[in-house]
Chain A
């Protein structure tokens, strides 16, 4: 087996001093950078935590008496449901396309990632439009059979879980697929030769070895589930996030909202730490196998695989896409005006720049975690990826308040030099927004970079060094090539996520910096789903480009 336990990183056969030297080639002082990033993420979290200074007992006791227990239960059900759903769907599909061969595999290999381009709130309102009592599906059933009473209630726990699973499974699919592909079928063959049946080979060998990747994907999906407000509000499913918004939008008590949000964060942190602890027994270093000898599915198995993949693709992507197109045709193109070019440009521009910044931060964090052994540093890195579990608007407000605070300090310093500024420096430009994206999506970029880094065997770099390669050679010829797929995945994931991001964009965008997501908000917040079809389709189409690149790249 290719499992090698490493404690120190790449250069465990080398003394500490030399490994530092390599690292300096990448970033001159890693600890400092980590601290800077950590501060940037923690500042808004501190803003949230400071809300505990005043405690509004009336609202808390009301929440406790009426809804808190139910909200916690609902949230737990959602988390478990989505967690199971994305694991089964993501891993199953990844297994099919990465290891097996069946009719249409080449197509499904990339097509199954397409739902990634679909924002959760869009799939939510499209599914309700399609499958609710008044939608075309149930209406059709009624016109044929006279009754659609047996049709399951769409606006229900099952409905919201299904929508989230369908949107979020690509995270698991992508990361698991990468892991299975790097295992190659050779591993399975070895297990089979040693006497394991196909199922036990899968569960005892392949699955455990892909576990870090799967866990990273599930963690991303669950953090997004915890933070989601769009889909749960379309389905009117009350979660912990709903309570946060009720406290803020209804009771106008931003402190209680922040307190609830910091509790949510605590849950997420605990879950993440548990996951890390159970995994810390060792790192799994995988050897990339080039032999593409696949398990060929035949007869009913092949049919079933094709049908299942088609079904998932149809309900998660094709049908919603068609529904949006129909709405677009119904409303006509009256929404399309010259500003759409501007919307597209702003969306792409923000996504590209934010992707670059976030990727840079993620690389710094991942490398530091690998090279420095200090516990506090590892803690800083873990904390820095927590922004993803917070509801977007809450994080956005935390970021805004902390940036405004920094702005005041900047103004103070400027005044000291005799310059009086006329307004905020950070908030009001794109700087605040870009940093907000970075804080929010650091986890998304960190996952693939970190998993990529873990696949680099320490022995490879040691061997390279002993064969006379300079540290620069090691970075250029070994680390960069092995890491490139992970870096690209991270960049494109952040790109797509930034395109879809709504609350922070709304709150922090400079005047006139409208994006597709902003247009969708303008339409959907008043229930004009049909009119949102144009910006939604545009967003999906622009988001598709990176998804296709992602797949073509990883399919090699």
Chain B
């Protein structure tokens, strides 16, 4: 009896192993790789999450007949993979969040410049690379969130003012390891200079009510629970929490309206240097920036469309109009290392 069971188990195992053998090496669609400029397929490496891109890819596949394959991971490992694969890379498009990541990809020579009238007119100049290697596809603001129960909006003014003594023990921040904060600090450095920025960040750290959080949602929940009163978050996290609790005792505040404006960041993409299907890749990017796709692309993640012709969803619009910082987002990439070092020096973990 026991022997029978053991042999059945081993047999099943053997069958599964045999079934896997086929997948050990990839299937090759086109044999030579050159000449055959098949526009039937586009391969995307994405650090934007699957549930935010798949619905659009599905739609595009339906409309155009082009097949889209994609692989999701963090930005840095995907860049390492692109670099290692070099000329043999199957990837056509690299898609990621945060301008800093896009700038890095361009800097490492992983992206190619594309000349597209459509993209140039759909994407405002400060949300794309000056050399046309990457393009923003959606916009998010990193702004102040406050408790409507314990904070009057009149008390708030700028990011810098969160370092004032009135916020002593009332401020919550996310870790400086998150690229969103690195980009925020990088643009502050570009606008205010290194010395002033260091003072501001130091004052923030002194005002912290509790050790920094590892994500924005926990941070907002801490404000609701009363651990602190103000914080800095990306708009879409607020939107998600709002979905769960419609009468949420939190509100977004748009700082620095008298000067540079609210810090914004993008998710975006570019065509990979050694893309096998550069034309098809460009067409996909153009479609993603079009009025037809933008509402959905931004809407799925409660972000702002990058295309000025398209309006944000009702919920996103309800958070109010604001003046955004129009510094080119690439500064986030250029100053990222300096920003991290600055935060390390003043003890922002």
Chain A residues engaging chain B, CB cutoff 8 angstroms: 62, 66-67, 128, 132-134, 138-139, 153, 155-156, 233-236, 238, 242, 245-246, 248-252, 254, 348-350, 352-353, 356, 393, 396-397, 400-401, 404, 407-408, 411, 420-431, 434, 503, 506-507, 509-514, 518, 521-522, 525-529
Shortest C-beta distance, B2 to chain A (Å), equals 12
Q: Which residues of A contact B212 (CB under 8 A)?
A: 236
What 20 additional pairs, Cβ within 8 angstroms, besides A236-B349, A252-B336, A356-B13? A62-B341, A134-B224, A235-B214, A246-B340, A250-B182, A252-B79, A352-B16, A352-B17, A356-B17, A396-B77, A397-B80, A400-B81, A428-B26, A429-B25, A507-B80, A510-B23, A511-B69, A512-B69, A521-B72, A526-B215
Contact present for B16 and A246 (CB under 8 Å): no
Kindly identify which residue among B13, B26, B32, B218 contacts A134, using a CB–CB cutoff of 8 Å.
B218
Contact present for B211 and A155 (CB under 8 Å): yes
Contact present for B221 and A134 (CB under 8 Å): yes
Closest to A155 in B: B211
Closest to B222 in A: A134
Chain B residues engaging chain A, CB cutoff 8 angstroms: 13, 16-17, 19-20, 23-26, 28-33, 43, 49-51, 69-81, 84-86, 88, 90, 104, 108, 175, 177, 179, 182, 210-218, 221-222, 224-225, 227, 237, 240, 336-337, 340-341, 344-345, 349
Q: Which residues of A contact B240 (CB under 8 A)?
A: 528
CA distance A221 to B182 in the complex (A): 33
A132 and B26 in contact, given A397-B80, A411-B88, A522-B72 (Cβ under 8 angstroms):
no
Shortest C-beta distance, B289 to chain A (Å), equals 23
Shortest C-beta distance, A113 to chain B (Å), equals 20
CA distance A528 to B33 in the complex (A): 40
Shortest C-beta distance, B85 to chain A (Å), equals 6
CA distance A348 to B17 in the complex (A): 11
Shortest C-beta distance, A144 to chain B (Å), equals 15
A525 and B88 in contact, given A133-B222, A234-B214, A422-B31 (Cβ under 8 angstroms):
no
Contact present for A430 and B20 (CB under 8 Å): yes
Q: Which residues of B contact A518 (CB under 8 A)?
A: 72
Kindly identify which residue among B75, B84, B216 contacts A400, using a CB–CB cutoff of 8 Å.
B84
What's the count of A-B pairs with C-beta under 8 Å?
A: 171
Shortest C-beta distance, B239 to chain A (Å), equals 12
Closest 8 CB pairs of A and B: A527-B215, A134-B225, A428-B26, A134-B221, A429-B25, A66-B344, A431-B24, A506-B73
Q: List 7 A-B contacts (CB under 8 A).
A: A249-B177, A400-B81, A420-B32, A430-B23, A511-B69, A522-B49, A522-B50
Kindly identify which residue among B28, B72, B74 contacts A421, using a CB–CB cutoff of 8 Å.
B28
Contact present for A233 and B177 (CB under 8 Å): yes
Closest to B27 in A: A429
Contact present for A526 and B49 (CB under 8 Å): yes
Closest to B30 in A: A422
Contact present for A153 and B13 (CB under 8 Å): no
Shortest C-beta distance, B14 to chain A (Å), equals 9
Contact present for B76 and A248 (CB under 8 Å): yes
CA distance A111 to B49 in the complex (A): 36
Contact present for B237 and A507 (CB under 8 Å): no
Shortest C-beta distance, A161 to chain B (Å), equals 15
Contact present for B90 and A128 (CB under 8 Å): no
Closest to B216 in A: A527
Closest to A511 in B: B69
CA distance A404 to B78 in the complex (A): 14
CA distance A430 to B16 in the complex (A): 13
CA distance A522 to B177 in the complex (A): 19
Shortest C-beta distance, A370 to chain B (Å), equals 25
Q: Which residues of A contact B78 (CB under 8 A)?
A: 507
Shortest C-beta distance, B319 to chain A (Å), equals 19
CA distance A132 to B345 in the complex (A): 28
Q: Which residues of B contact A529 (CB under 8 A)?
A: 217
CA distance A245 to B31 in the complex (A): 38
A250 and B340 in contact, given A353-B16, A522-B50 (Cβ under 8 angstroms):
yes
Contact present for B24 and A429 (CB under 8 Å): yes
CA distance A506 to B217 in the complex (A): 24
CA distance A352 to B15 in the complex (A): 11
CA distance A512 to B90 in the complex (A): 14
Contact present for B17 and A353 (CB under 8 Å): yes
Shortest C-beta distance, A98 to chain B (Å), equals 24
Contact present for A527 and B177 (CB under 8 Å): no
Q: Which residues of B contact A350 (CB under 8 A)?
A: 20
Shortest C-beta distance, B41 to chain A (Å), equals 11
Q: Which residues of A contact B177 (CB under 8 A)?
A: 233, 236, 242, 245-246, 249-250
Q: Which residues of B contact A425 (CB under 8 A)?
A: 25-26
Contact present for A236 and B344 (CB under 8 Å): no
Shortest C-beta distance, B301 to chain A (Å), equals 9
